[in-house]
Amino acid sequence: MENTKETERLFPISEYDFYTGVVKNGRQVIMGLLFPYLVAYIFSEDGSLFGREVRDCEYLPPNIQNNFNIYDKVFQENLENQFEAWKNQIGFQPETVKVKVFFDEDFQVGIEEIPEHLKETHEGGSPFKRWLNIVGEISEEEVLDGDWPEETQEEREDREEGLKEWLENGNFVFWWAKDYYMSKDGKVEST
């Protein structure tokens, strides 16, 4: 778990399905549920990743047919109480945080400057073949064998225009149990 790029860009992140704020020592925090854990990422005032703290959920939600219902009302109330106690303990004040690129492989949490569907364009790959693999039309080996049709000129131009717009707008992806497409101001635009 570390900052993964040399970039000095700070990415603002506002509260959504997770909490963002500062604590009494001035550090920035992003915290939330990554079931079955409560997880907090701590950043220095300059936005560098400082560390991570993981706590067990004190109360588990009902298990229905081998699936935990994390939206259960009683579970949500207990979860909120546990988070409130933790936030009070560290002197948490809600605020938009500004952090540098990082990625935690353990929990798949972090910042991606360019989403995968545009990144492949940026890195010169073939998203058409990747898409066929994702939807189950071809195997990973077939993606690499070079016998499948490449994207059309129009598809490539659309993708390149999407990348250009993404970069001009300053958007980024924040990963927290799923992908959140973020505006340059740290607001979630879509999930």
How would DSSP label each residue in 115-171?
-HHHHHHHTT--HHHHHHHHTTSS-HHHHHSS-SPPPPHHHHHHHHHHHHHHHHHT-
Which tokens is 48 given? 């560098």
3-state percent helix, strand, coil for the chain, nearest multiple of 5: 30, 30, 40
What pLDDT score does 152 carry? Answer: 74
Which tokens is 111 given? 């910042």
Per-residue model confidence as pLDDT tens for the chain (191 residues): 555 555 589 999 999 999 999 999 999 999 999 999 999 999 999 999 999 999 999 998 888 777 888 899 999 999 999 999 999 999 999 999 999 999 999 999 999 998 887 766 544 445 555 555 555 655 556 555 554 456 677 877 887 888 889 989 999 999 998 999 999 999 999 98
**Rounded Cα–Cα distance for residues 63 and 135 (Å):** 30
pTM to 2 decimals? 0.79
**Rounded Cα–Cα distance for residues 97 and 22 (Å):** 7
- Assign 82 to helix, strand or coil: helix
Q: What are phi and psi of 104, to 5 degrees?
A: -105, 105
What pLDDT score does 9 carry? Answer: 92
What pLDDT score does 1 carry? Answer: 57
The ranges assigned to domains in the chain are 1-109, 113-191
Residue found under tokens 């002197």: 91
Q: What are phi and psi of 151, to 5 degrees?
A: -65, 155
Beta pairing, strands 109-112 & 102-104: antiparallel
User: Which is nearest to 92 in space by CA: 48, 171, 35, 38?
Assistant: 38
What pLDDT score does 144 carry? Answer: 54
User: Which is nearest to 155 in space by CA: 172, 130, 191?
Assistant: 130
Which tokens is 160 given? 């390149």
Which tokens is 65 given? 């047919």
